[in-house]
Amino acid sequence: MITKATLGLRFSAIVACLAISSCGPLISFGDEGPIASLYTLQYPHAMPITETEGPLVYVASPEMAGRLDSENIVVVLPDKEITSLEGAKWSDHLSDLLRDYITQSLAVQAPATLLGQSTLDVKADCRLGVKVWSMELAPGSTAQDDHVQVSIQLLLLRLADNRLIGQKLFNSSKELKNNGNTSVMEAFNDAMFDISNDYGVWFKEKLPACNSQR
C-alpha cells in the first residue's frame, strides 16, 4: 500500500528533476505555487450546422460531487486525501465545461436538438440530468502508474408526463501517456471521448421515447 510518506518522498524530488522526463505531474499540497495554466475539455468533432427535426432535449447543468465543484483539477491520493494539480486549472467552472462537452457530443451523435442552457420560450421534450461522480487524477507509486478517472451518470426524463426514460453510469480510466500537466489533460480528454461514445449510443437508443405532443 502506498502511504502519504511514500508520496511525499516522490513529490519532494520534483524540484530536483523538473527537466527529467521521468518526473510526473506536480501536485499541490496547499502552497500557492506557480501561476496556473488553463486547460479545457474539447470534443473533437464540430456540431452539425443543419437543423434537425428530432426531439428537443434540455441538458441540465451537471450536479457535481462536492470536491469537483470548482476550477481546480482534483487529485485523490491513495489514502483518500484530496488535493489539486499544481500549475493547472480548468479554463472555466468544470460543470460548465462538461455541459458544453455533453451538449456538443450528443448533437453530433443523435438526431435531436440539444439546448445547453435555459431557454424560457422553448418547450423541451426531454430533460437530460447529469451527475458527475468522479473527474480526478489518481497518482500511483510511480509516474507510470498515474491515471485519471471519470465517472458520469446520465438521466433522461420526458417532460410531458415526468416519465423516467432511463439512466446509466458511464466510467473511464486512462493512464498518462507521458509526464506533466499536458499529459494529464490529454488523458482527461481521451477518457471523456470514450465515455461520449458510450453515452451517445445509449442516448440515441432512448431518444425516440422523448417524442410527445407539445
Tell me which residue range forms the domain holding 199: 52-210
CATH number, position 198 = 3.40.50.10610
Strand 163-175 and strand 147-158: the pairing is antiparallel
| Residue 29: inside a domain | no
- The confidence score (pLDDT) of residue 49 equals 64
| Residue 1: inside a domain | no
| Residue 171: inside a domain | yes
Strand 37-39 and strand 82-90: the pairing is parallel
Which positions of the chain have pLDDT values less than 70? 1-34, 48-52, 118-121, 212-214
| Residue 17: inside a domain | no
Name the pTM for this structure.
0.81
Chain-centre distance for alpha carbon 169: 13
- The confidence score (pLDDT) of residue 142 equals 75
The total of other beta-carbon atoms located within 10 Å of residue 130's CB is: 19
Number of structural domains, the chain?
1
The single-letter code of the amino acid at 113 is T
| Residue 10: inside a domain | no
| Residue 201: inside a domain | yes
- The confidence score (pLDDT) of residue 54 equals 86
Reported as a single tens digit per residue, the pLDDT across 71-106 is: 999 999 988 889 999 899 999 999 999 999 999 999
Reported as a single tens digit per residue, the pLDDT across 144-155 is: 789 999 999 999
| Residue 43: inside a domain | no
- Provide the β-strand partners of residue 167: 155
The single-letter code of the amino acid at 124 is A
Chain-centre distance for alpha carbon 131: 10
- The confidence score (pLDDT) of residue 33 equals 55
182: its cell numbers: 499536458
Residue 14 DSSP symbol: T
- The confidence score (pLDDT) of residue 22 equals 41
| Residue 110: inside a domain | yes
Pairwise CA distance, residues 149 & 162, whole Å: 32
